[in-house]
Amino acid sequence: MKVALLHYWLTNIRGGEKVFIELCEMFPEADIFTHIITPEIKNTYFPDRKIYTSFINKLPFAEKLYKNYMPLMFKAARTFDLTGYDLIISSESGPIKGINKPERARHICYCHSPMRYVWDMFDDYYQAASLHKKCAMKLFKNYLRKQDLLSAKSVDDFIVNSNFVKERVKRIYKRDAHVIYPPTDVEFFQQSAEITQNDYYLLAGQLVQYKKTNIALEAFKRNGKKLIIAGTGEELNSLKARASQNITFTGRVSDEKLRELYANAQALIFPGIEDFGIVPLEAQATGTPVIAYAGGGALETVIDGETGIFFNEQTPESLNSAIDKFEEIKASFDLGKIKSLTKNFSKQVFKKEFQNFLNK
């Protein structure tokens, strides 16, 4: 088969890009199509691959302003020449799946989520946006929704990363989907060193509004316990300005340092709603339990009372109640068991289940 792999943009390496890298390993001869790729990502991850970009890649300041060109990306995706390809796999949570599909080709879309910023989480993104972005969001909301629905028609089969997203695909696209959990590098995180301290809680990931870091910040300002926040993002400076002395920020850290932070924390704090959420699995792979909001993908990766504890309201009060409960029962958590349960989310399992789907 001649295979094409599509990803919306390759400007950084986050959860969606890690899935795409695994797909590229599964299909080492496949060509890559994307709206934009930075030279650093190309040279680091895809040095010997044939890569095709859309006209978005040539627009002014595209490496930084690519999201501003979102309304043009649906048209740009239709300019890709996929003639002669037998299998097309798109890694998608933006406008790349709306291709002109050759008649004899099969298009499988691994959907991280329908576009959250125009569907379920529009209000969250809108509240966090600047004034000119608010105007653009209002102006293009209906257009982007219409184009997203049209783009789904080119897909023969949907694969999704969680049952949470499966419901979203069913509701928005009126399509059924098959769940294959995304790959987590559990082996790397399971190799954490012996615990040297255990006096802090950890929050890790991108610091943006919808992840609700502000809830954790306020909760720990009230309870006075030690909290380390690892990561960076648009909310970093405002969070720092409001933090109390018991809350510290590390900024961006290496994978090795993050593994150490996970392993030595009392628990990971996870207050947002994620489509899947790899961070809780990374923490559990080191043996660290998770205190998570009972929503989204966390309901599929955290076992209440065995690998973590849920809280039911996205408020500082609800989070602090869960922390109090955790401290009462934390001695009962089996760190070895927490580690072992993450094996079902490994890279090997992802590749095997994806290949089984293709074989069917």
pLDDT in tens, 229-260: 999 988 999 999 999 999 999 999 999 999 99
CA 3 → CA 32, 34, 87, 204, distances in Å? 9, 14, 5, 36
CA 297, 300, 305, 308 torsion-angle sign: negative
CA proximity to 298, closest of 279, 285, 317: 279
- For the stretch 78-128, pLDDT in tens is 999 999 999 999 999 878 999 999 999 999 999 999 988 888 877 777 777
In degrees to the nearest 10, what's the CA dihedral of 177, 183, 184, 186?
A: 120
Digit-coded pLDDT (tens) for 133-176: 888 888 888 999 999 999 999 999 999 999 999 999 999 999 99
Which two three-digit tokens encode residue 149? 């629905």
φ, ψ of residue 235 to 5 degrees: the values are -95, 0
Neighbours of 303 (CB within 10 A): 16
Output the pLDDT for position 1.
87
Q: Cβ contacts of residue 308 below 8 Å, gap of 6+?
A: 267, 268, 280, 284, 289, 290, 291, 292, 302
Cα 56 → chain centroid: 23
